[in-house]
Chains A and B, each alone.
Chain A
């Protein structure tokens, strides 16, 4: 028996994933326990007299009253160290590949495997010389974890002092000691493997302003509703509106150093999709496989409910660990509603007093504390890193007034509302340009202007204005028919419809269209606006709406998203020239 492991009581009652233990003397709140003869993983969530309530992370079928409950002396923790990247875990960080190798295609009860492979050797290079000062979070050494992620072995947050010994460069297992630090409390032997309780945020220095966008390559996001590094965004949408597609697209193409993808209570095949697709896709910035920067946490809808509750914290803890190394990490949580429902189910089984729609009263606090783990931070070691959180929300019936959407809205700064009508017309990503917002738009403006030119702000504002105008015009058109509108107004509708087809819509499966750089986005936007500006002038001069519609170059604007490659400025110039010439000709007809 490992240290700290001791019998703490016996099972008294089993009600689904909630187990009550009796005869409990020295259990700790949130302690990790093993329940019953199958040694199922659980966590103490309530203590009262000699009773303890335990939420069990595995199927409790067959557990009987009287079976033993064993405490481990530790809170539910994740293992941190090289070997995380590229791995797929379940909600409590059991490596699914290893479980399959040992237990077959189906997940049985009481299966276990260490999160980090103990047998694997890593090439460790020390970064500090013996005698150097060690502060918490200092980089003690580095390990090439994947071809694109350099793993930095950090001094744990509670360790400071003088480095009294460092391992020489060479191959080590994760449990081997690689550094010894002389602290005021004595000697600390540090290995590459460290543990961290999932429900405790890892400490960091001060928060930094969110002024750099997390470029996602998704046009509607980057141009209209940007997300900042260290920011938070919610993606609410009814079923079939493309939450997962949007999450996948961002996970694939955003410019984070690392992705933690938490599949929380969703479909098994979606995780398989990620697993089969990511290794084949190549990051446009580094030319490396996307799997080399991805950690997957899969707790599908048919896996135990309580592990679903833990999975988002597991994801947050892993993300913070890489943030502390100075990386920009993006966490996708799909879907936070399933996590909230897990809270509700457990709360119901504990017979707690419900608040709205059966959800526990602490729902808002839990949501807040999860999103607060995002942020752009100065790390303890003195570098900069960030955790961005992108949370999908699945409102029942697609109704955004339900508790999870409403509470989430209070704690995120960007909101990508998915629209049923757009999804029905197969307009993807179906992010509504009317209901969505981003509080980061102003903060990232200087970055954009520097990157693509000072005209960007005005262009964006003009396009947003047109979209607003279109809504009003469409309402009128619905009553009287668009024919009754003057040509200048019909042209507004036409330009907006072009903007939707040529810019907002993006094909996630087209080799070119799936990722658009900020530069290309700016040029595409400018092209639509050129059509708008020249076209409305032409109408003033007497050209008709129908003639403008028939301009051949419009088709080139629509196809620019997949027909013009990244960096091909000349092609954009050519389309613009063709468009100008066509409208010149039109005007010429009326100029006489």
Chain B
């Protein structure tokens, strides 16, 4: 057996050095090679073009007579006879180290800032491995972001995956940057890092984040992985995996608290669709492959905490919903995997509300365990529930007001309108550099409820009302 495996290892080594001249077929991002040695599924591929430039790729389908591989850096200007192919005998790996913080890399993890490649401390398969569910630690540490709409209503928890569902032109980047700047635990500092993965976004978006990190003086805590809009689209499939592999090393080997910002997931999914179409796979909805859910889960599930390891990965993926449609497969499948979502609303943005966090469709699933006594404040869960319940009535009243006119509204309905205004203008709205502590957020929430009559407040207790509630009239012009 031992001799066998040694011979086997030797064979593999020889095979890894073997080079095949000429491709059989090129179709979109895919290359087809016939008559190879046995090549492993998901093995790393190097395609050398006529100019000698090496492009990386991955095996998608392997059989005795044909190997199909996707080329991350695109197939542009490759020729059938002029290309050479090498199979590396192992999946794509990335070298991870703490020294990657403060540096900028391309979508495949190679330095983009002109510096030398840092010496890795760990070399890991970019595909990662699923965390054993019994090894997970349930996340319950409250992160204060200083943003009322999040802290008060959709609390972020350390180790959570909480995406921002946005649309083109909405301030999702500003919000993500503000969260990254202001996020902190209530009990003070700890060893943190930010890993930023850009997929198909414009140069100025990358620049915006860089500047924002620079201004807040944390750039040396940030590792940037940029696969920008003018980089080959297929590279985007690997970029988040490279970034998450580095994040896993920082979090689970070096005990750091890592915030991973990934933008824009819509571009990632489109690259996936491109490959699926090129392979002639049977599509499910809107041409996206049937495995889109599983594929996204492979990324999003690489977050959280592990028992016995102090570090954590908190994910903040950003996705622009095509046509602002939340039922589009990308936000839809994402919502089924992530632990809630922050939804940005175009009409609120139009009315000048920043951050335009939609009150009702936004949700944090882990909120229930991270707030309340000992974490934020005892009344927080019920206050949030009451705000949600009352705010959900505001929409009905606004619809009614549109039909019969505001003047015709009953006094109670009018109070709901005033409550809605206050909630959006004073509770949700804040400046882009305003860092509110959670006490201030809760106080504003109670102020909003003060506009409603006592008997409307059924989700809070008598004791809450005694302690925090003061009936008030709406201020003029508020």
Contact = CB atoms under 8 A, between A and B. Distances in A.
B435 interface: no
A549 B458 CA distance: 13
Given A105-B135, A271-B133, A305 B399 contact: no
Given A239-B335, A482-B410, A65 B63 contact: yes
Interface string B320-337: 000000011100110111
Nearest to A335: B336
Contact of B336 (A64, A66, A104, A239): A239
Contacts of B384: 426
Interface of A: 12-16, 20, 22, 59-67, 88, 96-97, 99-100, 103-108, 238-240, 263, 265, 267-269, 271-273, 275-276, 298, 300-303, 305, 338, 341, 344-345, 348, 354, 357-358, 394, 396-399, 421, 424-427, 477-483, 501, 509, 549-550, 554-555, 558-559
Interface residues of B, number: 85
Interface stretch (B24-32, B195-203, B233-241, B388-396): B388-396
B409 A481 contact: yes
16 contacts: A13-B61, A88-B133, A97-B134, A240-B361, A240-B363, A267-B339, A272-B134, A272-B136, A345-B290, A357-B285, A358-B282, A358-B284, A396-B332, A396-B333, A426-B385, A481-B404
B388 A425 contact: yes
Contacts of B135: 100, 104-106
B388 A302 contact: no
B178 interface: no
Given A61-B40, A302-B130, A481-B410, A14 B62 contact: yes
Contact of A396 (B128, B252, B306, B327): B327
Contact of B294 (A100, A298, A305, A421): A305
B431 interface: no
A99 B301 contact: no
Contact of A345 (B64, B91, B139, B291): B291
Given A14-B63, A481-B400, A549-B455, A62 B134 contact: no
A429 B363 CA distance: 15
The 5 closest A-B pairs by CB, nearest first: A397-B327, A301-B297, A13-B63, A425-B392, A239-B335
Which one of B62, B133, B332 has the greatest number of beta carbons of chain A within 10 Å? Answer: B133
A399 B326 CA distance: 12
Contacts of B131: 105-107, 268, 302
B337 A301 contact: yes
Which one of A64, A345, A394 has the greatest number of beta carbons of chain B within 10 Å? Answer: A64
B53 interface: no
Which one of A97, A106, A421 has the greatest number of beta carbons of chain B within 10 Å? Answer: A106
Contacts of B132: 96, 99-100, 103-107
Contacts of A425: 360, 388-389, 392-393
A64 B62 contact: yes
Given A269-B366, A271-B133, A60 B291 contact: no
A198 B129 CA distance: 27
B64 A269 contact: no
Nearest to B139: A269
A478 B291 contact: no
B38 A64 contact: yes
Given A239-B335, A425-B392, A478-B399, A106 B63 contact: no
Contacts of B293: 265, 301, 338, 341
Given A105-B135, A357-B284, 10 more contacts: A14-B62, A14-B63, A62-B40, A88-B134, A106-B132, A265-B293, A269-B366, A396-B333, A478-B396, A559-B461
A550 to B, nearest CB: 7
Interface string B118-147: 000000010111111111111100000000
Interface string B381-422: 100110011001100100110011000111001000000000
A235 B286 CA distance: 25
B329 A396 contact: yes
A345 B294 contact: yes
A267 B409 contact: no
B332 A344 contact: no
Contact of A555 (B90, B294, B340, B462): B462
A397 B288 CA distance: 14
A63 B328 CA distance: 35
B214 interface: no
B281 interface: yes
B368 interface: yes
Interface string B268-301: 0000000000000111110000110110011011
Contacts of B38: 64-67
B127 A300 contact: no
B403 A63 contact: no
A344 B291 CA distance: 9
B138 A273 contact: yes
A318 B140 CA distance: 33
A63 B385 contact: no
Contacts of B366: 269
A341 B125 CA distance: 27
Given A14-B41, A62-B43, A344-B284, A302 B297 contact: yes
Interface in B135-161: 135-139, 159
B356 interface: no
Contact of B282 (A61, A99, A354): A354
A426 B362 CA distance: 11
A272 B127 CA distance: 23
Contacts of A276: 138
B319 interface: no
Nearest to B296: A301
Given A106-B131, A275-B134, A399 B336 contact: no
B256 to A, nearest CB: 17
A481 B399 contact: no
Contact of B62 (A13, A59, A108): A13
Contact of A20 (B63, B128, B396): B63
B309 to A, nearest CB: 8
Given A240-B363, A341-B290, A63 B134 contact: no
A357 B129 CA distance: 30
A480 B332 contact: no
B92 to A, nearest CB: 11
A181 to B, nearest CB: 38
A267 B301 contact: yes
Contact of A269 (B284, B339, B361): B339
Interface string B352-390: 000000001101011010000000000001001100110
Contacts of B39: 64-65
Given A478-B399, A509-B368, A62 B42 contact: yes
Contacts of B413: 481-483
B127 A61 contact: yes
A267 B337 CA distance: 6
B341 interface: yes
Contact of A358 (B283, B306, B461): B283
A344 B290 contact: yes
B389 A427 contact: yes
A303 B361 CA distance: 29
Which one of B64, B137, B139, B298 has the greatest number of beta carbons of chain A within 10 Å? Answer: B64
B304 interface: yes
Given A12-B64, A62-B43, A302-B297, A100 B284 contact: no
A333 B307 CA distance: 26
Given A481-B409, A501-B458, A96 B41 contact: no
A66 B130 contact: no
Nearest to A337: B336
Contact of B137 (A62, A65, A67, A272): A272
Contacts of A97: 134
A391 B468 CA distance: 42
Interface in B105-129: 125, 127-129
A539 B153 CA distance: 39
Contacts of B340: 240
Which one of A13, A239, A269 has the greatest number of beta carbons of chain B within 10 Å? Answer: A269
